[in-house]
Homo-oligomer: A and B are copies of this chain.
Amino acid sequence: MASGEVASSATAKYLQIAADLAAQIKSGALAPGAIVPSEAELIQRYGVASGTVRKAVAELRTAQLIETYHGRGSFVRSRPPVQRKSADRFRRTHRQAGKAAYLAEAEASGGVPSVTVLFVGPTAAPPEIADRLGLPAGTQVLARKRRYFRDGVPTEEATSYLPWDVVKDIPEVFAENPGGGGIYARLEEHGHSLAEFTESVRARLATKPETKALTLSPGAPVIHLVRDAITTDGRVVEVCDTIMAADQFVLDYRFPARD
């Protein structure tokens, strides 16, 4: 046929190609970690133009089935089992046993956890954080930003914000490693007895910086979780702002059927 040839079938060519490759992945013919045929080869195999193959590949990428690397090739994604996050991870008994929350969690999930501290120091509180802490926006607070890995793969990035008057007498929270049980253990040792936590969960697409930080494909979804730690006095002594790779986590909650 002449140039300018166009799909006349029900579904677009690029979707057919994507579906074909997806079937090969699901059937195991293309195993996790395997390299996907190059675009040049797909062009030949399916007899289409480059743009069409590229759209098919883009489709597989947003479907989280493959990852593409400039200059190297495309690879079938190996989907690590998800981590379950439940409120249990903040149990005081875990803290007293010297476990930080992420470690208490990792025990049940399998996989080797690790943390990198990206920043610890004074910061001007962003508006939403300041609001939750009950402080004027821009007030100086202590920020602790860290990135969590699982089997060496970044899965989560969290920033804790603590009011300055709370932390100024707790030297450990300025250190990279705040010691056994994490910062919540340190807060309780210094008279800030924790009564409850509140969490707000949102989901959205990753921003450009987030795709870099968590090595996500563009267009990948993230879970944005903001947690307030509240003392028995009713004061919010910490706000933790977390971005998680959505495909890595299931969040579990439990609440009573109250009157």
Contact = CB atoms under 8 A, between A and B. Distances in A.
Interface in A196-224: 196-205, 218-219, 221-223
A222 B223 CA distance: 10
A124 interface: no
A204 B253 contact: no
One complex includes copies of this chain to the number of 2
B250 A253 contact: no
A255 interface: yes
B205 A62 contact: yes
Interface residues of A, number: 41
Interface string A51-72: 1000000000011100000000
A93 B199 CA distance: 23
Given A203-B246, A219-B219, A253 B252 contact: no
A7 interface: no
A195 interface: yes
Given A92-B259, A246-B221, A259-B91, A254 B198 contact: yes
Given A91-B259, A92-B258, A257-B194, A64 B205 contact: yes
Given A51-B51, A205-B63, A247-B204, A198 B253 contact: yes
Contacts of A218: 62
The 8 tightest CB contacts between A and B, nearest first, are: A203-B203, A203-B246, A194-B257, A221-B221, A87-B255, A201-B251, A198-B254, A199-B253
Interface of A: 51, 62-64, 82, 87, 90-93, 194-205, 218-219, 221-223, 229, 246-247, 249-259
